[in-house]
Structure 1
Amino acid sequence: MPSYRSGPTRRRRGLATLIGTFVSALAVLLALPGAATAAPPGPGTAPAQQSPSEAPLKPGEAWMGAGVQQHEGDDTSGKPPGERARLAATVEGVDVSSHQGNVNWKGLWDSGVRWAYVKATEGTSYKNPYFAQQYNGSYNIGMIRGAYHFATPNSSSGATQANYFASNGGGWSKDGKTLPGVLDIEYNPYGATCYGLSQSAMVNWIKDFTSTYKARTGRDAVIYTTTNWWTQCTGNSSSFGNTNPLWIARYASSPGTLPAGWGFYTFWQYTSSGPIVGDHNVFNGAMDRLRALANG
């Protein structure tokens, strides 16, 4: 004859079996393809900026500093650089590309950002689809802004790319709010570090670009690079220090040793992880000197 505990025991066992079955079914559902996929981004949302180590980049997807963190590291974690506090005067700025999409320029302005550089072109076949919003939006909020070109020296001549840049957003006008264009010449995110060029061929390519850009706009292009890349790929050429402002990229507490020919930097990209959007930088001087650079 069963004891008085038999009924409750069977009920508890039945409940445990039911719960186990439910959990197993839920696990199967969660394992189905797409079951745990996040909601798609809203209309107009740009892809998140991607580290070069995450996936191979496609032509046009490079940004200013695309290979810097991968090759040289980043020990700032978005914190203001130590040297910045020691400088007499600096002006905070950002650089952006299509990876940032439609930028919240008011938020950046409210955070203290006063200048911006926007990617315009890459090679001779890519134009930033967000260029108008970024370039005009920064201007309209009150920033001094400029455009940059991501160089691919293995795809066409320096002159060809300079003309493409100048004709597609990289021009200059003396309005006090437009900075000279930037030649972004750095680690190749698509292949061989120096794009398959010898050191002398790279120097000649850069000369071809900068001389053509000056002929088109009347301004000497700013050169964005890192000391390590410049040394490796140009033989640490000193040919540009007297003419082209330097934008040094180094994600550390100081910009470190500069490439040959430059006694000081004009811009310093000190982190790839800005607090709001884009890479963050400082201009080496006060606001009146930044306006002077814009005016030529």
Structure 2
Amino acid sequence: MSIRSLMTALAAAVLAAGSTFATSAPASARTAASVPGFDISGATTNVDWAGAVAAGARFVFITATEGTAYQDPNFARLSSGAYAAGLIRGAAHVAVPNASGGAAQADFFAAHGGAWSADHRTLPGALDLEFDPYGAACYGLGQSAMAGWIAGFVNEYHARTGRWAIIYTTPSWWNQCVGTSTDLGARDPLWVSAYGTAPPLPAGWTGYTFWQYAAEGTFPGGQDVFNGTADRLLALADGTS
């Protein structure tokens, strides 16, 4: 399940129910990416945090905002629950590039749950970039304009928080809507969504930091792994990686 607001998440669930692609990747493909976690959206109202931790989860991403007008009403409660359970948590922002500028959306995100805290439990915020479920796949923007929009977001987020945002996307969306730009891959960690035997990479990255490998599974919502050890995950949260 992608990290969308309630309406988008429900739409995605309907689409997923009729899909014929694989919903998970073999465990052998995830051997090196050894730290499990999950991602949830506004469609998730309650989580068995203790159960998720007992099953092996060590991190979670939670939708906080969308555009400049939507704040997930469940975010604060879910984030507090994750923290109390000992999970490293990250906030996510659903990009709406045809609604307002990237910098404006980064400001909204940082002010409504997406800011980073040096508390050993908070990851840099994630920018969710995927096909527009309501209109044009690339929100009516050309590749150069989209790359500029994303740069505006991540630069403003860095100015607000001191951290470079994690970028969540699919290779198909990125290659179609952003193209071959390599600027962002040099500094922003990649969270790739790909349901297959190994995650293909969008242009600009030589490796991934997080991999969403299934829409459902052991944990609530999307199933993810961190590409590294638990110590490296903590270093990313602390800003020392």
If the length of structure 1 is used for normalisation, what is the TM-score?
Answer: 0.74
Matches within 5 A, 1:152-163: 152-163=96-107
Matches within 5 A, 1:36-55: none
Q: Cα 1:100–1:80, aligned 2, differ >3 Å: closer, same or farther?
A: farther
- The Cα of 1:77 is off from its aligned counterpart by 3.2
Q: Does 1:207 align with 2:151?
A: yes
In the TM superposition, what whole-angstrom CA distance separates every residue of 1:101-155 from its partner, at most 9, and x where no partner exists?
1211111111111100100000111111111221110111010001000000000
Aligned match for 2:136, one of 192, 200, 219: 192
Aligned match for 1:292, one of 230, 235, 239: 235
Q: How many Å separate the matches in 2 of 1:276 and 1:144?
A: 15
- Number of the residue aligned with 1:173: 117
Aligned match for 2:197, one of 253, 257, 270: 253
Asked if structure 2 preserves the Cα contact closer than 8 Å seen for 1:81 and 1:254, the reply is no
Asked if structure 2 preserves the Cα contact closer than 8 Å seen for 1:230 and 1:237, the reply is no
Q: Does 1:275 align with 2:218?
A: yes
Q: How many Å separate the matches in 2 of 1:61 and 1:218?
A: 32
Aligned match for 2:29, one of 83, 95, 110: 83
In the TM superposition, what whole-angstrom CA distance separates every residue of 1:269-290 from its partner, at most 9, and x where no partner exists?
0000123411000000000000
Q: How many Å separate the matches in 2 of 1:198 and 1:157?
A: 15
Q: How many Å separate the matches in 2 of 1:120 and 1:190?
A: 20
Where structure 1 has 5 or more consecutive residues not aligned to the other structure, the ranges are 1-48, 52-56
Asked if structure 2 preserves the Cα contact closer than 8 Å seen for 1:81 and 1:252, the reply is no
In the TM superposition, what whole-angstrom CA distance separates every residue of 1:182-213 from its partner, at most 9, and x where no partner exists?
00011111111000111111000000000000
Query: Could you say what secondary structure the match of 2:130 adopts?
Result: coil
Partner AA of 1:228 in structure 2: S
- More deviation in 180-189 or 235-244? 235-244
Asked if structure 2 preserves the Cα contact closer than 8 Å seen for 1:238 and 1:259, the reply is no
Matches within 5 A, 1:95-134: 95-134=39-78
RMSD: 2.2
Partner AA of 1:216 in structure 2: R
Q: How many Å separate the matches in 2 of 1:74 and 1:216?
A: 42
Q: Detail structure 1 runs of 4+ shifted over 2 Å in the superposition.
A: 59-63, 73-82
Asked if structure 1 preserves the Cα contact closer than 8 Å seen for 2:126 and 2:166, the reply is yes
Q: How many Å separate the matches in 2 of 1:276 and 1:266?
A: 19
Q: How many Å separate the matches in 1 of 2:26 and 2:82?
A: 22
Greater CA radius of gyration, 1 or 2? 1
**Structure with higher RCO (Cα < 8 A, 6+ apart):** 2
If the length of structure 2 is used for normalisation, what is the TM-score?
Answer: 0.91
Q: Cα 1:243–1:74, aligned 2, differ >3 Å: closer, same or farther?
A: farther
In the TM superposition, what whole-angstrom CA distance separates every residue of 1:187-243 from its partner, at most 9, and x where no partner exists?
111111000111111000000000000000000000011111111001232111111
Number of residue pairs matched?
A: 234
